[in-house]
Amino acid sequence: MLSFYIKSSEETEAELSTSIKRGLSYREVSKRQKDYGENSLKADETFNWWEVLLDQFRDFMVLVLLAATTVSGLLGEYTDAITIIAIVVLNAILGFYQEFKAEKSLQALKELTAPEAKVIRDGEITEIPASEIVPGDIVYLESGDRVPADIRLNKTRNLEIVESSLTGESLPVKKHEDRLSSTPDSIGDINNMAFMGTMVTKGSATGIVTDIGMETEMGQIAHMLADENQQVETPLQKRLANLGKVLVTICLLVCIAVAFLGVLRGEPIYKMFMAGVSLAVAAIPEGLPAVVTIALAVGVQKMMKKNALVRKLPAVETLGCATVICSDKTGTLTTNKMIVDEIYTPLLHYHNNTNNGHSFISSNHKKVSPKKNKDLNLCFQIVALCNNTLYTKEQGIVRGEPTEKALLQAAVDYNITPLSFSDITYLDEIQFDSNRKRMSVFYKDDSNQVVMFVKGAPEVIVPRCKKIITDNKNGELNHKTTENIMQKNEEMANKALRNIAVGYKVISYDDYKNKNEKLEDLENDLIFVGLMGLLDPPREEVKDSILKCKKAGVTPVMITGDHKATAIAIAKKINLFSKNADNKVMDGKELDSLSDRELNQKINNIRVFARVSPKHKLRIVSALKDRGNIVAMTGDGVNDAPAVKSADIGIAMGVTGTDVTKGAAELILADDNFSTIEAAIEEGRGIYDNIRKFIRFLLSCNFGEILTMLFGMLMGLPLPLKPIQILWVNLVTDGLPAIALGVDPKDPDIMKRKPRDPEEGVFSDGLFKTILGRGLLIGLITIFTFYRALELQPDHLDFARTMGFSTLVVSQLIYVFECQSVRSGLSLAKVIKNPQLIMAVIASFMLFCLVVYIEPLAQIFDTHPLNLENWMTILVLSLFPTVFSVIYGKIKDRIF
């Protein structure tokens, strides 16, 4: 880093050949992008294609298989060994391709959720991906932003930045724009620069980018940036990996026992070794891990299409367990397209007469104008001046928070803008924050008087007022007028309006200078001007989503900083309250008065938290979690990040959310919409169901194969299936239908079930019994076919094996359609809905025919061509397990 901190911003501007006012030109930007490259940390690129490829062979199960194959190769079974290795490699390539695609889409997701930056280019403010920034760019920073590069600050407004990622210091650092007189001891003392990767927690600023990418301070320590973005394994993947290990261990023990017993019985060692290898091959569900990864990746993509961006893979599973969704009101349950609908002042009550824009009439139906109506004029002036929306002469309202924008728009519609005041100079401001629930700005006039304009929640502002505006001069605010105002506030809130009180006060310059010490006092004795009621209509689609959630056993809870009455009015409109239920509403004050134990007792009945601030959210999450809930919590502001992080499923807003909150979240809503959460829960449940479907399929088949081999050994028969035959089934003919099960459409009743218990195992609900039962049936018919064929043609082992092999494959390909539901059996309606599965079954069958009828393959696989009669026998026998389970199911239903 060049020492820009000891240079003035003008010197920096000159040195970097840029213009603070207009920024760089687009032509210059593209030139610099070529010269300096992309603004990213190389360490971020954790994704390597060859690592993914290597990973395919790192799997424990695959390793065991390769070891066994090597031994069989050493024992002289070259063809078998080579074929097994070829199949393993083919499988690895398929797995690699799928995983590569999956990783790519996750990578794309990462890019989608990557931070953006606001820059001035060619005189206009635009938002661009942070990676496109170049040195010399003029960047605009505000609370909640992640600093996109190293920046020499040029103009700051109460800027505070947390630099813990760089310095380890967790307290925010106050920043300014003045040059430093000497080189500071440590980077933590460079207070006129903002560094890449740090977080703006307060205020705003503009600055000049001095360094990007690996040249930044963060770039120097890039390796320390253990990226929170990393996709960890989901609990299910971990459990399956463990299951794989258990299966392999058990199977190895069984193999050793069987081989040992065989040798004791006088069988040749080589034959027993092959039996062991075959058993190992049969027992290991080789395809399972790959299919799970694919199903998860496909699920993530589906969610992305529905505007839910998954940042951490485990969320896909946890979503299906959610029992409570705590949602912000503004923007998530409502549209966030606000307009000022009513204005009340002690003189008149005004109503907006139009849906698009602002055109007020007074309650006595007289046409109004700010010229005639001084109270209205003052309201507009205050919201134009006490406002941190970015407003420019050329572009009008450029950007800002919806509340701020709506208030300013009302004023702008009456030709009052922040630029209309040439006689006063801006001094400073205390920005709005949800804890203080108010905002104050300070302006100086020609006579050196300081005027403080304040706006905020009526309950906070009105008690701080001492006077009200009257027709000609200011009047005292007595008890009765206060009551009147608060009653009006209540009436407006009952109409779902979000009210903001506005006022002002003249203070001395000395008081202004010492404002930080006695702010609380300074913000007292205000002159009350009026209440501005903002209409923020509920999102239409949310009503349905809330009903769906309730049916699915997921309780939606509204959390809002707004007034109780506003919150209740909206809650009623969106079906949040349930009939016959104890729909409790609690406000921040009450919450503060309760102990943790008391809150725990009450929390399950509360549907609306009103007038709460972000700090309350953390308590709400903990209390809900203590009561055994799986909590999803939304958030947007910096202050929301701790609650979002501590929730089971942290959800950040994609549009209004700050980078800090997005960084803490598992899920990002691209459209900030509550309905997207509901859709994501539905998808999450569907994905989990599908995983269970192919677990049911693959493990039943594996178990069937193990039993076939065991029965064969116990009956003293030759090996019923050769290792490569089993491997062909496990990896090829089973694999395709299993992947197709992974994209099976969701059960129509998926949102009518209660949420899944996260502690519940994958095999819950009788899945294990189903697997064992079906495995047994498959094993029995396969060994029966093999045995009968061998009995009929004792000299034709190849033929008997082919008959057994075919019965195994066909019965599995029929069974896969039963697995389309986790619980029940075959359903034609479901079969039709998944054409991919039908195609996969046809493809699998053709692949199977390949090794039976195509000569060189038939030789390698030791198969024998079958005639029509053989096929009829195979078909009848293969249908047996399905017919049996249908009849068994019917009898069971009758008896129980």
- Name the one range near ligand ATP by CB under 6 A: 127-135, 179-187, 450-458, 837-845: 450-458
**Contacts with 468 (C-beta within 8 Å, 6 or more apart), sequence order:** 346, 474, 475, 476, 477, 481, 527, 528, 529
Pick between residue 141 and residue 620 the one whose CB is nearest to ligand ATP: 620
Judged by beta carbon, residue 549 or residue 840, the one nearer ligand ATP is: 549
Specify which residues 651 forms β-bridges with: 634, 667
- Containing 228, the helix (H) or strand (E) segment is none
Task: Identify the sign of the CA torsion 214, 217, 220, 225.
Answer: negative
Asked if residue 585 binds ligand ATP (CB under 6 A), the reply is no
Task: Indicate the residue among 546 and 851 with the shorter CB distance to ligand ATP.
Answer: 546
Verify binding: residue 489, ligand ATP, rule CB under 6 A. Answer: no
**Among the listed residues 206, 234, 389, 403, the single contact to ligand ATP using CB under 6 A:** 403
Q: Indicate which single residue of 312, 498, 548, 645 sits in contact with ligand ATP (rule: CB under 6 A).
A: 498
| The token pair that represents 196 in the structure block | 């890449």
- Pick between residue 173 and residue 500 the one whose CB is nearest to ligand ATP: 500
Which of 208, 220, 80 has the alpha carbon at shortest distance from 139? Answer: 208
Is 500 a binding residue for ligand ATP by CB under 6 A? The answer is yes
- Provide, rounded to whole angstroms, the least separation between the CB of residue 439 and ligand ATP: 5
Other CB atoms within 10 Å distance of the CB of residue 366: 10
Rounded to the nearest whole angstrom, what is the least distance from the CB of residue 817 to ligand ATP in the complex? 47
- Find the part of the chain contacting ligand ATP (CB under 6 A) among 107-115, 244-252, 451-459, 865-873: 451-459
Least separation in angstroms between CB 534 and ligand ATP: 8
CB atoms closer than 10 angstroms to residue 753 = 14
445 is catalytic: no
432 binds ligand ATP (CB under 6 A): yes
- Let me know: does 563 contact 457? Beta carbons within 8 Å: yes
Shortest separation between residue 617's beta carbon and ligand ATP, angstroms: 9
Query: For ligand ATP, which is the closer residue by CB, 311 or 437?
Result: 437
Contacts of 600-605 with CB under 8 Å at 24 or more apart are 600/626, 600/627, 603/627, 604/629, 605/581
State which of positions 563-582 bind ligand ATP (CB under 6 A): 563
Check residue 142 for interaction with ligand ATP (CB under 6 A). no
Active-site hit among 80, 137, 328, 672:
328
The verdict on 562 binding ligand ATP (CB under 6 A) reads yes
Please give the full DSSP string across 293-346, using - where no structure is assigned: HHHHHHHHHHHHHTTEEESSTHHHHHHTT--EEEEESTTTTB----EEEEEE-S
Buried-state track 294-315, b at ≥16 Cβ within 10 A, e below 16: bbbbbbbbbbbebbbbbbbbbb
Which listed residue (16, 559, 677, 781) binds ligand ATP by CB under 6 A?
Answer: 559
Cα 355 to Cα 45: distance, rounded to the nearest angstrom: 49
Q: Which residues on neighbouring strands pair with residue 451, listed in sequence order?
A: 443, 506
- Taking contact as CB under 6 A, which single stretch among the options 152-160, 480-488, 558-566, 683-691 is the one that binds ligand ATP? 558-566
| Maximum Cα interatomic distance, the chain, rounded to a whole number of Å | 117
Q: How far is the CB of 462 from ligand ATP (least distance, A)?
A: 11
Q: What single letter denotes the amino acid at residue 35?
A: D
Stretch that binds ligand ATP, among 223-231, 350-358, 449-457, 647-655 (CB under 6 A): 449-457
Q: Are 501 and 455 in contact (CB under 8 A)?
A: yes
* Per-residue DSSP letter, 39: S
Q: Which is nearer to ligand ATP, 166 or 559 (CB)?
A: 559
Under the binding rule (CB under 6 A), the answer on residue 455 touching ligand ATP is: yes
What is the smallest separation between the CB atom of 575 and ligand ATP, expressed in angstroms? Answer: 17
**Which is nearest to 881 in space by CA: 701, 689, 666, 625?**
701
Q: Which two tokens stand for residue 858?
A: 């038939």
Per-residue contact string for residues 324-363; x = within reach of ligand ATP by CB under 6 A = ----xxx---------------------------------
Distance of closest approach, residue 824 Cβ to ligand ATP, in angstroms: 42
Tell me the three state secondary structure of residue 209: strand
The token duo for 349 is: 């009550």
* Site size for ligand ATP (CB under 6 A): 22
Return the number of other C-beta atoms located less than 10 Å from residue 423's C-beta: 7
Judged by beta carbon, residue 32 or residue 438, the one nearer ligand ATP is 438
- Identify whether the C-beta of residue 135 lies closer than 8 Å to the C-beta of residue 15: no
Helix ranges, 438-531 (H): 458-461, 479-494, 509-513, 519-522
Q: Which is nearer to ligand ATP, 329 or 464 (CB)?
A: 329
The binding track of 266-295 with respect to ligand ATP, each residue x by CB under 6 A or -, is ------------------------------
Q: Single out the segment in contact with ligand ATP by CB under 6 A; choices: 399-407, 442-450, 546-554, 745-753.
A: 399-407
Residue with tokens 């923007």: 331
Selected from 135, 213, 320, 456, the binder of ligand ATP by CB under 6 A is 456
CA distance 687 to 606: 31
Closest by CA to 88, choosing from 891, 648, 732, is 732
Residue closest to ligand ATP, measured at CB: 561
Closest CA to 767 of 844, 659, 695: 695
Do residues 853 and 845 lie in contact, with contact meaning Cβ atoms separated by under 8 Å? no
Q: Rounded to an integer, what distance in angstroms lies between the CA atom of residue 796 and that of residue 862? A: 11
In order of 189, 190, 432, 635, the CA distances from 173 in angstroms are 9, 10, 19, 24
* CB nearer to ligand ATP: pick between 190 and 457: 457
Q: Which of 437, 548, 756, 774 binds ligand ATP (CB under 6 A)?
A: 437
User: Closest approach of Cβ 468 to ligand ATP, in Å?
Assistant: 19
Give me the amino acid identity at 396. G
- Report the residue from 561, 650, 663, 881 that binds ligand ATP according to the rule CB under 6 A: 561
Kindly tell me which of 665 and 803 has the beta carbon lying closer to ligand ATP. Answer: 665
Shortest Å distance, C-beta 307 to ligand ATP: 19
Comparison of 493 and 837: residue with beta carbon closer to ligand ATP: 493
Q: Which stretch binds ligand ATP (CB under 6 A): 224-232, 299-307, 496-504, 797-805?
A: 496-504
Whole-number minimum distance, CB 623 to ligand ATP, in Å? 18
Please tell me whether residue 404 binds ligand ATP under the rule CB under 6 A. Answer: yes
**Exposed e or buried b per residue across 385-403, where buried means at least 16 C-beta atoms within 10 angstroms of its C-beta:** bbbbbbbeeeeebbebbbb
Q: Contact at 8 Å (CB) between 322 and 554?
A: yes
| Closest to 107 (Cα-Cα) out of 287, 240, 304 | 304
> Is residue 830 at the binding interface for ligand ATP, with CB under 6 A as the rule?
no
- CB 460 → ligand ATP: shortest distance, Å? 8
Both structure tokens of 842: 């046809």
Structure tokens at 714: 């116990």
CB nearer to ligand ATP: give 197 or 637: 637
CB of 568 to ligand ATP, least distance (A): 13
Please give the residues from 713 up to 752 whose contact with ligand ATP meets the rule CB under 6 A. none
Q: Which of 499, 639, 658, 878 binds ligand ATP (CB under 6 A)?
A: 499
Question: CB 650 → ligand ATP: shortest distance, Å?
Answer: 15
Distance of CA 550 to the CA centre of its chain: 21
Decide: is 389 part of the binding site for ligand ATP (CB under 6 A).
no
Among 457, 492, 599, 814, binds ligand ATP (CB under 6 A): 457
Note whether 429 binds ligand ATP by CB under 6 A. no
**Pair type for strands 649-653 and 631-635:** parallel
154 binding ligand ATP? (CB under 6 A): no
List active site positions.
328
Residues that bind ligand ATP (CB under 6 A): 328-330, 401, 403-404, 432, 434, 437-439, 455-457, 498-500, 559-563
